[in-house]
Structure 1
């Protein structure tokens, strides 16, 4: 029997039933050893002196895991959510995350596919298929990993080519007409060459979201194709080359948002007036006093979105239906060469990512917040390392280099917002009533170059005690240029022409210079013939030079009991705001963040190798945490990025795998977080003074003493699985799990706070004991829990939630040749 380290859950009644079933056999099972490469060499997961959650490929397939969000559901302390605005997922481990919609922002969580860093999270949404395992490393891992991160790492490791012929196919059909087909073929092409080809496709012609305003209009169709080809070439003298060629094409619908009345969470009904809310809230409105029909809570399926919008100035019609046209293509080459007890490793990789992606943010059949992101990313990396090992010492030394380029056009539609036509519709006395801004083009380019040298040693100074030391030096340079442009209809340029007397032509850069000391600051040129000079692209660069390190000691009290302590630190370099900009101050880079971690843990194998008990406590000193905050501009407090000066995170984690009897396995995982902002004063409102070219009368909130966002106090999951024979060559299986995430208040933006939720899943199946075939009936979110993993809004109008999937169910069939 195979027991994986997948974190999952169970309902008490299900567990009781399965334990009762388990009494048919009193033989005890033995837990299988899980080998990971978290420290870039093979180790038992229970011999690694850090917290690692590992998922086998078999487990991933069994539980329908197809994305990082599914991984998070089974990993206490890990959250993966969408910002809802630009399709950029946000990864958080133990409260360490970065809530930013910018495509080119770096994640606090490092993402690695077959040892290759994926620096931008938008590139990580491809299909998860044919994997050997997934490893989630918690805490700073700055000595061994190339792109600097503070929260931890997620390593995806593909199944490798085999000498013997293997092939398999799995098909799954579920609610909403979703068809998943995944397959592989592997084997030797010659005595020295092996290959493995794998694919996955997801197709669905039926949407799971239903429009509130257009009965019969559904959203949620899927069209994904992922391919991977691996070729292994055995070289003389114990060398090998592994070639990885991969491609993902995603033509699916995006998720629409759900609008709600802000008074449900203690806010005003809406953040700013917008069309068509005036018909329900103004006395002369045609539906005055009625509840807007786009408000919805409690139903996972209902939402709304805009299918198209026509510019009243140019007559151009744009499709705004939430959708994606994304392609990721890449190649990597790994060379390993063993000589004189030393291994040389070279990993060279190149990836291209292109997308044209539309998202509807406002949750209604109107246009106050829709985006179209057209993105091109090119990423190159090279890692060289030497390693060796004897009875006492393991050592790794290496060099790392990466270079990437990013170009993005960020289209923003807001005709029905207060910045567009809503000001006139509501009778507001502001500049937008006369000069509405209906649409924006934000264009930027970013180039990043990173270099690092690193070393890592593990020294066994006694038979039981091991010292781990790691050190890394990194230099990183980022160059950025960008601006928010008039789209050619002369609304944004015309706004400034009417307000400050400029003469900007259609299509011009319309970001206002308010940089202190700049000769073209608006205060220096307003009222002069040089007024147009106040509008220009903002160009800047940042460079970072940092040392990171790790000191760890672990002690094997016995063969079954390991205790460890680790002191480590990591950093994440600064970056830039790719949001729509009204002033250059918004575009100033935010500072690097740095985290120092102290972690104490225990890993114990108990009850005659039938239970694995792992626990850890940790304390983080978090400096300059990168965080979303408001920038004060002439149009109000809008999207900016900054740093939380000081904060701390304390917590504990528990992980148990138990095989009490033959056929029965129980997995339990829990995480507790206590976060505190020690110092952070952040602006929330203010005015812009053209005479000084700066913000005045700024109102700030002192968030000191509050908790960090995206930091649930409790998260846990549990799983019970029972397998029993029904004949000489057939078996049956049944399992159930629960996954709980606590509420996550936001200390500054109440609209970003999330409620707690509990998801329950089940599986029941039958298969051949040799593994030839297997059939599985499954259900996910079987209680139809209403939950949302992101919430936001208010600046352009209403408040929205990104609601999770409703109850789904289906059947899976697998066959191995």
Structure 2
């Protein structure tokens, strides 16, 4: 395995097997997780896990799943361009802008799956902790994933009354407020309600061509209500209703380069409004500058609502039945999205979408004798959704603008309907072979059935000669005499037919995991595991002229090998974890290109036959004396496509073998320090800072220099004054103190390379008060 500084890796693993007994001192807080569907210390689980308590997330200013990428090396976030997140973990991601694309990184809240990444935007409200599990997760959780999963555990209704409120004010006139109330309603019924709002009336972005024009106001609201009923000691039921609304301004990208989309005459077809448009210097250090067409009211209109019911019945002394039923809906109700980075409409759009998902899981777990824990179960789910894009292409070169107005057409509408059904059965066991060895093994059999229909059309408000007229001519060259009308499909098959594209995909797989755990001494765990995971196939929703673009991408599979160690040292004042891993990756799903004779290189989903990932991770937490905590975490990951030939970004045949994955930086690390001390009998003063580094990567698979992401550093700091009884706290904070430019993603939108950046520097203050 070719990894830099291999000797250091083995030294870290060896050091993790040593423990010292020096003198009594404060110990690290133990985090209890449910990664294996039972409560156990995070240090006893043979899986690489990054875990944070809810209090720690609040102190670090984490208000969105996307923020976790700055805390956890190996986890990155990118923007699809549709204001929907794309998560990558250990180099495993799926950079498809399709709204209904399932993620390689699963998201769960209290064991309820959020199968589509956009659902995760409000998941971390009122959280007890978050667990990030790395590597394939296809056994115990509701849907298969190849990258890993993020598991949120919310605060539960309490048996005693408690409540809390918080408020904050920060840069760009941003107000944030949050509150919760919890307690008993009857002798066996308790409830909890939490809400949060984030609002601003000053945009954090300014226009490149109109510096006084701003974008980036926030308008977010999220809620969670829970009822917990325990009619008997052996029966517990929890009903949860949760959701969020986002009516913020969408982020506008920076125009950093002109990329002609016209496949026939290239730059000669560029509109004067584009060729003369100013660009943002790719080497700028300004996160705020961007551009957008002032003719539209750019705003998100996203929503998510979900209801779930979890029941657990201990029907014997050592066995229990768990049922989880959930129904959720997420969507965009005409969100207006600037995408090209230009001040004219070149590839801007309106997004209408909705996804409904219903799932049921049933499982039985128990203990057999003194040595074996076991679990068997099954789950089913049904998803159905719609996605529609109205694309504004008034100045797009593919449609031959004349004096700034398109000769052929100015509007394209693309839609897709889909249905997905999954059925799975699973089993898992942990067998204590001896006092120092334990074997974990599990498997899941999954059936996945999907159907799709959709195409691209020319809407009635399109101007010009007519996109339909152009495709009628193209159809004739393929042998079909068909005068295509507006609102009819212009997505042609090889014979010139323009019927609605209909397709289906039926697949099955067996995911599995086996891990041997060795505990040579207390507080030391060394594990060796092999696991196989899958991600389901699917269909893209892309503006398309050729039905080949709607071909299904089949499921991808990943075989992972991992050697890891978890060690608690120095009288529980040091926690040192490390892991080596190697992934044999088959049929990786990739968003690549096909060369269209009219519209140039167009996106298409394809499978890369063979790839690999290898890397090392380390994290260490130390509390040398009372009040001081330091944490260091790092990952080094190499990704490589070993076999794949397709069309490159420029439309030319390309052999991608030997190239790394896109959106996969090699080196990432974070360092955090927190020090607090009492200044009176009931008040403490605290100082904290965190630093993160993310290495360079690229948005394109063929590593186009225009789409390169430079490495970046982020520094955050906090000063807090708090009561020792945790009743109140006041915090001054600064985020991205050096105002570093960070690249989230760069997409080709129409005739431009459009760059999305991270948040600029922010200062603020927050206050919390708890009622007991």
TM-score, length-normalised on structure 1?
0.87
Does the 8 Å contact 1:672/1:715 carry over to 2? Answer: yes
> Shift of the alpha carbon at 1:361?
1.1
> Shift of the alpha carbon at 1:506?
1.9
Equivalent residue, structure 2, for 1:31: 28
Does the 8 Å contact 1:421/1:438 carry over to 2? Answer: no
Equivalent residue, structure 2, for 1:410: 389
Equivalent residue, structure 1, for 2:610: 646
Runs of 4+ in 1 over 4 A off after TM superposition: 270-273, 293-296, 498-501
User: 1:495 and 2:470 equivalent?
Assistant: yes
Equivalent residue, structure 2, for 1:360: 338
> Shift of the alpha carbon at 1:494?
2.5
Equivalent residue, structure 2, for 1:162: 158
> Shift of the alpha carbon at 1:589?
0.3
User: 1:760 and 2:715 equivalent?
Assistant: yes
SS of corresponding position for 1:28: coil
Q: How many residues align?
A: 728
SS of corresponding position for 1:70: helix
Distance 1:237-1:775 versus aligned 2 partners, 3 A rule: closer
Equivalent residue, structure 2, for 1:419: 398
Structure 2: how far apart are the matches of 1:679 and 1:460? 41
Equivalent residue, structure 1, for 2:563: 600
Q: What pairs up with 1:440-459 in 2 under 5 angstroms?
A: 440-459=412-431
Equivalent residue, structure 2, for 1:129: 125
Structure 2: how far apart are the matches of 1:155 and 1:128? 10
> Shift of the alpha carbon at 1:235?
2.2
Equivalent residue, structure 2, for 1:114: 110
SS of corresponding position for 2:103: coil
Structure 2: how far apart are the matches of 1:338 and 1:399? 18
Distance 1:128-1:273 versus aligned 2 partners, 3 A rule: farther
> Shift of the alpha carbon at 1:88?
2.2
Does the 8 Å contact 2:258/2:751 carry over to 1? Answer: no
> Shift of the alpha carbon at 1:796?
2.2
Say which of 199, 203, 207 aligns to 2:199: 203
Equivalent residue, structure 1, for 2:173: 177
Equivalent residue, structure 2, for 1:152: 148
Q: What pairs up with 1:29-428 in 2 under 5 angstroms?
A: 29-84=26-81, 86-126=82-122, 128-261=124-257, 274-277=270-273, 280=276, 292=278, 297-308=284-295, 319=296, 321-340=297-316, 341-355=318-332, 356-389=334-367, 391-422=370-401, 424-425=402-403
Does the 8 Å contact 2:618/2:634 carry over to 1? Answer: yes
Structure 2: how far apart are the matches of 1:786 and 1:672? 22
Say which of 452, 463, 476 aligns to 1:480: 452
SS of corresponding position for 1:119: strand
Equivalent residue, structure 2, for 1:570: 533
Say which of 656, 662, 675 aligns to 1:703: 656
> Shift of the alpha carbon at 1:307?
3.0
Q: What pairs up with 1:2-17 in 2 under 5 angstroms?
A: none
Equivalent residue, structure 2, for 1:11: none
- CA deviation vs aligned residue, 1:41-94 (integer Å, no higher than 9, x gap): 11100000010001100001111101122111100100011122x222111000
Distance 1:27-1:170 versus aligned 2 partners, 3 A rule: farther
Structure 2: runs of 5+ lacking an equivalent = 1-22, 260-265, 477-481
Structure 2: how far apart are the matches of 1:498 and 1:438? 18
Structure 1: how far apart are the matches of 2:274 and 2:520? 70
> Shift of the alpha carbon at 1:489?
4.0
RMSD: 1.9
SS of corresponding position for 1:648: strand
> Shift of the alpha carbon at 1:279?
5.8
Structure 1: how far apart are the matches of 2:210 and 2:157? 50
> Shift of the alpha carbon at 1:294?
5.9
User: 1:784 and 2:739 equivalent?
Assistant: yes
SS of corresponding position for 2:102: coil
SS of corresponding position for 1:330: strand
Structure 1: runs of 5+ lacking an equivalent = 1-25, 264-269, 281-290, 309-318, 427-431, 515-520, 523-533, 687-697
> Shift of the alpha carbon at 1:631?
1.9
Structure 2: how far apart are the matches of 1:457 and 1:685? 47
- CA deviation vs aligned residue, 1:6-30 (integer Å, no higher than 9, x gap): xxxxxxxxxxxxxxxxxxxx98321
> Shift of the alpha carbon at 1:257?
0.3
Say which of 503, 522, 538 aligns to 1:559: 522
- CA deviation vs aligned residue, 1:272-322 (integer Å, no higher than 9, x gap): 853345663xxxxxxxxxx826667321111110132xxxxxxxxxx3x43
SS of corresponding position for 1:323: coil
Equivalent residue, structure 2, for 1:283: none
Does the 8 Å contact 1:714/1:742 carry over to 2? Answer: yes
Equivalent residue, structure 1, for 2:12: none
Equivalent residue, structure 2, for 1:314: none
Distance 1:262-1:658 versus aligned 2 partners, 3 A rule: farther
Q: What pairs up with 1:794-813 in 2 under 5 angstroms?
A: 796-813=750-767
Equivalent residue, structure 1, for 2:15: none
User: 1:659 and 2:634 equivalent?
Assistant: no
- CA deviation vs aligned residue, 1:731-783 (integer Å, no higher than 9, x gap): 00001110111001344151443111100000001111001100000000000
> Shift of the alpha carbon at 1:391?
2.8
Structure 1: how far apart are the matches of 2:394 and 2:359? 42
Structure 1: how far apart are the matches of 2:381 and 2:539? 19
Equivalent residue, structure 2, for 1:772: 727
Distance 1:51-1:648 versus aligned 2 partners, 3 A rule: same
> Shift of the alpha carbon at 1:383?
0.2
Distance 1:391-1:474 versus aligned 2 partners, 3 A rule: same
TM-score, length-normalised on structure 2?
0.92
Structure 1: how far apart are the matches of 2:461 and 2:400? 15
Distance 1:685-1:153 versus aligned 2 partners, 3 A rule: closer
SS of corresponding position for 2:67: helix
Q: What pairs up with 1:730-741 in 2 under 5 angstroms?
A: 730-741=683-694
- CA deviation vs aligned residue, 1:640-680 (integer Å, no higher than 9, x gap): 11111111111000011100111000000000001111111
> Shift of the alpha carbon at 1:420?
3.0
Distance 1:278-1:157 versus aligned 2 partners, 3 A rule: closer
> Shift of the alpha carbon at 1:637?
1.7
Equivalent residue, structure 1, for 2:11: none
Does the 8 Å contact 2:555/2:587 carry over to 1? Answer: yes
Does the 8 Å contact 1:786/1:806 carry over to 2? Answer: yes
SS of corresponding position for 2:118: helix
Structure 1: how far apart are the matches of 2:447 and 2:737? 49
Say which of 491, 495, 501 aligns to 1:511: 491
Does the 8 Å contact 1:489/1:507 carry over to 2? Answer: no
Equivalent residue, structure 2, for 1:727: 680
Most deviating of 482-491 and 717-726: 482-491
Structure 2: how far apart are the matches of 1:755 and 1:682? 26
Does the 8 Å contact 2:347/2:750 carry over to 1? Answer: yes
Structure 2: how far apart are the matches of 1:626 and 1:413? 28
Structure 1: how far apart are the matches of 2:531 and 2:211? 55
Structure 2: how far apart are the matches of 1:511 and 1:647? 32
Structure 1: how far apart are the matches of 2:58 and 2:560? 34
User: 1:814 and 2:768 equivalent?
Assistant: yes
Does the 8 Å contact 1:88/1:102 carry over to 2? Answer: no
Structure 2: how far apart are the matches of 1:774 and 1:237? 37
> Shift of the alpha carbon at 1:798?
1.9
Does the 8 Å contact 2:66/2:121 carry over to 1? Answer: no
> Shift of the alpha carbon at 1:33?
1.2
Distance 1:306-1:134 versus aligned 2 partners, 3 A rule: same
